[in-house]
Amino acid sequence: MINFTKMQGLGNDFVVIDAINQQIQLTTAQIRFLADRHFGVGCDQLLLVERPISDNAEFKYRIFNADGSEVAQCGNGARCFARFVRDKGLSKKDEIIVDTDARQLTLRFAAGDLVTVEMGVPALEPKQIPLNVSEQSKLYKVKLAETEVEFAAVSMGNPHAVIRVDDVANAPVLSIGARLECHELFPERANIGFMQIVNRRQIKLRVYERGAAETLACGSGACAAVVAGIEQGLLDQDVQVQLPGGELIISWIGSGHPVLMTGAATTVFEGQIKL
Ligand SMILES: N[C@H](CCC[C@H](N)C(=O)O)C(=O)O
């Protein structure tokens, strides 16, 4: 039997497993089963708590999408990770450093039961997109069937394409999201964000996530969207991001600095499952 905790951050939901005190080796099929909303537990991502790689980190934070793909960043998951290790008594620290496959994250408990994550420094033209960026607009253009899509490319340790739209409620999230996620421009696929600028300190965002389809919220997607907006001169450094599942506060003071993300993290239930 495996003990797990079901958690969510703005409706982006997770199965979280302590892999330090439980010996587990999950296959891709088992991850897909656990993530399945009909035959398994159901989640957008599965998170493993492991021993750290680096001397200065307390844990390794591993992330698997619902399709079983392992990835290197998950913002909403990082907040739930902090809540999990605190509630399980695995850490008593107020500031927790974790290793992911791509970078270190610093997790801090904030006021009002919120968690702030230092999400690392964004990369604005991730190497994996073999395209020349138009210097002045810093935007890529790609033809998808009958429409031309313009997007900013931002890596938060995972790849994001950010498309600006006038009305996020009616944006072609499922059609364009699904096509662009798997487009040849992204050898490792990508998360596709649809951003509506409300004003210089507020955006609305929907994200079609790599390996999970549209989710109610995407933390790294919120960071990528704010970075893209600031880079294009459209946003100030502190932005309220309204996602379908709730609100995040994202702050970025500019190139070479980390992005800060603050939001809720909630435990839904504890469970056991036989694999
Ligand atoms: N689908 C993402 C991982 C989860 C990101 C999202 N849930 C977040 O809160 O950042 C990827 O494949 O890079």
Q: Please choose, from the candidates 50, 54, 53, 79, the residue with its C-alpha nearest in 3D space to the C-alpha of residue 62.
A: 50
56 is in an annotated binding site: no
| pLDDT tens by residue, 225-257 | 999 999 999 999 999 999 999 999 999 999 999
Whether the domain at 2-118+264-273 and the domain at 126-257 fall into the same CATH topology: yes
Q: What local confidence, expressed as pLDDT, does residue 133 receive?
A: 47
45 is in an annotated binding site: yes
Q: From ligand 1's centre to the CA of 61, what distance in Å?
A: 13
- Rounded to whole angstroms, the Cα distance separating 218 from 225 reads 10
CB of 62 within 6 A of ligand 1: the answer is: no
Q: From ligand 1's centre to the CA of 158, what distance in Å?
A: 7
Report whether pLDDT(275) > 50. Answer: yes
CB of 155 within 6 A of ligand 1: the answer is: no
ipTM confidence score: 0.96
Q: From ligand 1's centre to the CA of 75, what distance in Å?
A: 7
Q: Which single residue is written with the structure tokens 């040849």?
A: 184
Of 120-129, 155-164, 175-184, 264-273, the one with minimum mean pLDDT is 120-129
Report which protein residue has its CA nearest ligand 1's atom 3. Answer: 74
Identify the band that residue 137 occupies on the pLDDT scale cut at 50, 70 and 90. low
Spell out the domain ranges in the chain. 2-118+264-273, 126-257
Report whether pLDDT(147) > 60. Answer: yes
Give catalytic status of residue 43 as yes or no: no
- Backbone φ and ψ for 79, nearest 5 degrees, come out as -65, -40
Q: What is the pTM of this model?
A: 0.95
The answer as to CATH 3.10.310.10 being correct for domain 2-118+264-273 is yes
The topology under which CATH files domain 126-257 is: Diaminopimelate Epimerase; Chain A, domain 1 (3.10.310)
- Rounded to whole angstroms, the Cα distance separating 153 from 161 reads 5
Question: 72 is written with which tokens?
Answer: 């290197």
* Given 74, 80, 182, 223, the catalytic residue: 74
Residues in the chain: 275
Give catalytic status of residue 74 as yes or no: yes
Identify the band that residue 135 occupies on the pLDDT scale cut at 50, 70 and 90. very low
